[in-house]
Structure 1
């Protein structure tokens, strides 16, 4: 029927065949290292086998002109928009699909009906209201849909999607202009949930409005699936079209507005002091407060009844979002990427001032520099971080958390959590705002790639940064879970159980392992950068990423994609046995010493020892006639002809054999087993008798002829006393107890404590900054 049905059916079939090892059923090889084949879609004129856009690649475009009015008193937003839609596809279109994401908040929306629920001893408002399903007056109310001349157009709303039927078929290379007028009640995102809405501050009777997914937006029509009109259930995020925007936002006159793009009328909406500071920020190397804390506190008590209209424009973006409130400090500074000036800016309330004033804008600048180094230079003129007690991303603007205590102190966890979320959400400008993957289908292409880049930016911020996603050992607890609680990374967004681990942490970890362990930084960085360059401002699929990484590096990674992205097997490589060999020196004196130790060890036992210590009178000692030649025979005595025998042996060796003999290598034969199922490189750390160490790295291809067990011999100059697998914990091995020889006891600690009862609901965790002020 549709191309997407064929693709998804192929993926579903392939995942199942992979799980059953149908490439070579019942065998110990020929499965994990086979090429992906039909697991990914075939290349074509739109998407090449190299992973690059094909010669016939196309994508749609939608330009918007929007007028919006924020009614703070009644908590409503009204808007009207003109959309110019460009059909760059080879297909004639008889209708258009438009997204109405605010409908997710309606009590009757599909995501409410299909969400499971349970009762507990304590129930909050959000849980109970969801169970009751009371009418909430939320969701988009479409007032009218017309063509550019004002003629009504027929439309049908199906939950979060609206189909607009065209009066005539929109032909390839044609464009169509339509108008939509709508309004909706703004939801309390702190109780209803969701990404946009308002937060109410009772202590000063003010609101913070984060206006997101707020206007009817064009759905994507692509070569991969036709219309991406899968319903918005709340988790699987967005598939969106690039275009140009002009947006007029009318708000209370004392509000500060930050938005996607650049403001066109600061001279009209800012007072003289703020405008002067804005101009100073253009060349500042540290943040300048355009609106300062004292001005904010004053505005919070003097609420204006007048209105102002802020006008923003943005080019080649896939979405538009904004923030509006009178309780926002606003700071800004210029940063430069490849010689281009970008304004890094932050908006935050008084409760976030101790953290955001110190860190936010500088973290933005750091993020842009690190991401630009690993992908493409940041192309937009602005990057904004807004403190809004949550985390969500849009082009050039994102919403984050990070509030201090009343006394201005904060915990280390809040500090690093805030820095991490700012890096993450600002980083989303690259994935998926520029490299525009389909989040509705593949969350990991957005969240996973971005979390990987976030990890690199965190580590370049502070060498001691406590990153929670990225290091291989951090994903172990997830990968060792029962299989019925896991699903492959290549799973639709709405079908994932442990979303954070599956869509964020596991793909980020996989990419970090690719970079540090499988490919190496040089090959990985080049290929990853190539992917970003190829698909900037385009719509990539997983196959495009997989193919590009291989195409640009000459590293066959199909085994890696199979295991990490299409499977749920964990890594567990066991070191089962170590056998030591050395070359016979053929020198009788040397060999007899070794043989004597071995003979005595093998022939001694506890009974013999105790008999000797107890002074047992042995029969052959009491009656010497029982003794013969062998009682006095010294089997380890060096013969008189030993030197002659050695010289005869040595002179018989060829020059190459003599050279090998003189090296006196120690040989160690190691047995490994793949207990987890996920093939990976084998990393071995050797510890020698002199205390020195050495690491060998064996590529994963050692498993290609036997995916379950392998044996390999290693030649070492020095004698080995210990062997350790994965010494730097870089493969996500779920069981480190079978990684060493000799086996090591894993140390743990326990504490003797006096049991005591804590008040119910008491919070845990120290605030050393606060405690230091009390001392």
Structure 2
């Protein structure tokens, strides 16, 4: 019997391991950028779950958020475009910390000549500012807390209020009264503005009152200034709104009108009642009635419109003498209803134009209500004006020149924002992709569904054989996890809208499957309705509900700007005999990884599909698997339907 020393056995063992590694090394593609240990690293989340935000992605047992309830009164001077207002804010501090001061947002100050946003505007102009016009911003006339005048300081687009005494934690309340005025910009960052029409100005007014900054468990006071590209982060509360405008105007605002008998004619009230019962659009004020004095109550130079909105993060309004108005019933789950309304000038009617808007609003909201979460507001108003597209709770502003598919698209997108960020109140100032990207994703589903696919071609799946892969995964762009202020304006549409939406499409269709994805996504909406989620809360919810570790997916799509390039590199036969099976080699040449779909054609013309999980890349960039062939293989093609963003399709097919 031959004996081996321990040293001899070790040498033999390690020699075998070295030979094995050497054989593997020869199969590794020489130019691959792929790093499996980086992509699949278990170190993804930088913090554990807490009592405020649980590890599974839902609000923790001690989750809290503060509340802001507003009583707002404003008067519009349609000659000078000035809005003068009074705000009474009731702020509730539910946090565990007392407060010695409050922070508020003064977004109209963006349009001052010395604002930070003005300094950031490119020399050739930007849609995120005022197109070269300069305004005075807010004129703060008085500030008092609990009826006592207080010290305050304005810093760019923010205002700090110093409280006379500390606001108690866990339920302390304070009343703030502010008197102010400002001139509505003709064009304000494509979010607010004034449009001239043949029958008068259309005022679309947002960011029109000092608004509370959010104080949360993540950052404390969120005081990132408003520079134009980034949108908003707001507290929830109830709103009581009164807008006084010339009697010739019709005023729409977020929420439900409290005094229709004071501001509409008896005939118009009758038509609204008819519309509330009708699935077909009902004309409330026709184009022929716009110039008629009989279409407005007479006897007063001004009228005050009183609206109320519950559990919302913001309100906006529109006012004009030029509005055609129509409306129809929105059918919601559990037999509930809301009212879709469109307001537009005569110039917007015709050529498949705004006369279709109410139908579009109704279709969009009914689909998303049944798919994700019920529409929560009593009305949904689409207003045509100078703003190309901007969302507020219960009311949206869309371009007056839109028609056909473009009008469907803008209405669907702006009302899609009802779910992100109106219901799910993410921080748009930091994470624009959490509202724009998620909304763009659900827009694709609603567009394919609307009117049996009338505009389905607009939402057709991306053909990744085009330049889309190079464009959307361009390594010279910023990562998605960038604030909108840190993204070049030319990259805004790609990184905030397209790329995150396409990531969710691939996650839904190719990684999780529609059933698991939809359950997880819907759960995220339900968990964080009227709350403030972070990216981690979304990532954790999707993982825990779907049962998948998706760290690798978030890392490549959101945290980094990686690309995909997979090749079918070789086909060999077991013992050189096709009847005994084929050994197919695939290589990952770049940093992204996704599941693998292969189409295999044999010499006789037989075709089959193989799908491999993303885990085949877990140990490296080269993978060999056995295919049970019985004859010679003619071709092996990676991603035959072009559902993955592979930027180099020239190496996707191996041929015999």
Q: Determine if the TM-score, normalized by the shorter chain, exceeds 0.5.
A: yes
The structure 1 residue matched to 2:625, chosen from 709, 712, 723, is 712
User: Which residue of the partner structure matches residue 471 of structure 1?
Assistant: 462
In 2, Cα distance between the equivalents of 1:379 and 1:684?
45
Provide the secondary structure at the position in 1 that maps to 2:470.
helix
Corresponding residue for residue 416 of structure 2: 427
Conservation of the 8 A alpha-carbon contact between 2:128 and 2:229: no
SS in 1 for 2:524: helix
Partner Cα distance (1:144, 1:469) in 2: 54
Q: Which moved more, 1:223-232 or 1:302-311?
A: 302-311
Distance in 2 between residues matched to 1:549 and 1:46, nearest whole Å: 18
Residue 219 of structure 2 corresponds to residue 199 of structure 1: no
Q: 1:109-157 deviations in whole A, cap 9, x for unaligned? A: 1011133426xxxx99999974xxx8x34311101001232x2111100
- Contact 2:600-2:609 within 8 A present in 1 as well: yes
- Which of 495, 506, 520 lines up with 1:502 in the alignment? 495
Structure 1 gaps, min length 5: 1-25, 405-413, 585-663, 744-775
Which residue does the alignment assign to 2:89?
83
C-alpha separation between the residues in 1 aligned to 2:473 and 2:623?
23
Distance 1:554 1:307 in 2: 59
Q: Which one of the candidate residues 168, 173, 184 is aligned to 1:171?
A: 168
In the alignment of these two chains, the number of paired residues is 613
Asked if structure 1 preserves the Cα contact closer than 8 Å seen for 2:34 and 2:590, the reply is no
8 A contact 2:597–2:610 mirrored in 1 = yes
Aligned pair partner of 1:695 in 597, 609, 619: 609
The answer to whether the 8 A contact 1:206-1:300 is kept is no
In structure 2, the CA distance between the partners of 1:163 and 1:534, relative to structure 1 (3 Å rule), is same
Paired residue for 1:728?
641
1:672 to 580, 586, 593: 586
Pick from 542, 550, 554 the counterpart of residue 547 of structure 2.
Answer: 554
The equivalences for 1:299-378 within 5 A come to 306-338=301-333, 339-354=335-350, 355-378=352-375
Go from structure 1 to structure 2 and tell me whether the alpha carbon gap of 1:402 and 1:306 turns closer, same or farther (over 3 Å shift).
closer
Larger radius of gyration: 1
In structure 2, what is the Cα distance between the partners aligned to 1:426 and 1:27?
Answer: 41
Partner SS state of residue 79, structure 2: coil
- 1:677, CA displacement in angstroms? 1.2
Counterpart of 1:346 in 2: which secondary structure? strand
Cα 1:35–1:152 change in 2 (3 A) is same
Q: State how far apart, in whole Å, the 2-side matches of 1:300 and 1:717 are.
A: 84
**CA distance 1:532–1:125, change in 2 (3 Å):** closer
Question: Residues 276 and 572 (structure 1 numbering): CA distance in 2 closer, same or farther, change over 3 Å?
Answer: same
Output one character per residue of 1:503-524: Cα deviation in whole Å (capped at 9) or x when no partner. 1100000000000000000110
Matched, 1:139 2:145: no
The equivalent of 2:514 in structure 1 is 521
Q: 2:431 aligns with which of 428, 431, 442?
A: 442
Q: Which residue of 1 aligns with 2:217?
A: 223
Query: Unaligned regions of 5+ residues in structure 2, if any?
Result: 1-32
The 3 A distance-change label for structure 1 pair 468 and 27 is closer
1:541 matched to which residue of 2?
A: 534
Residue in 1 that maps onto 2:41:
34
Query: What CA distance in whole angstroms lies between the structure 2 residues aligned with 1:714 and 1:351?
Result: 64
Deviations 1:21-42 (A, max 9, x none): xxxxx9943221123434x443
Q: CA deviation at 1:169?
A: 0.5
CA contact (8 A) 1:402 1:418 kept: no
Separation of aligned partners in 2, 1:127 and 1:169: 37
Return the offset for 1:671: 2.1
Q: The residue matched to 2:581 in structure 1 has which SS?
A: strand
> Partner of 2:653 in structure 1?
740
The offset of 1:379, in angstroms, is 2.0
Q: What displacement does 1:733 show? A: 1.3
RMSD: 2.6
Greater relative contact order, per chain length (Cα 8 Å cut-off, separation 6+): 2
Per the alignment, residue 209 of structure 1 pairs with 203
Q: Give 1:268's aligned residue.
A: 262
* Structure 1 contact 195–212 (Cα < 8 Å) conserved: yes
In structure 2, distance between residues paired with 1:206 and 1:212: 19
Q: Deviations over 1:397-449 (max 9, x none)?
A: 11112527xxxxxxxxx522221111110010110000000000100001011
Q: Which moved more, 1:360-369 or 1:222-231?
A: 360-369
Rounded to whole Å, the distance in 2 between the matches of 1:168 and 1:193 is 38
Secondary structure class of the residue paired with 1:432:
helix
Give the structure with the larger strand fraction. 2
TM-score between the two structures when normalised by the length of structure 2: 0.89
Q: Which of 92, 102, 109 pairs up with 2:98? A: 92
**Residue equivalent to 1:619:** none
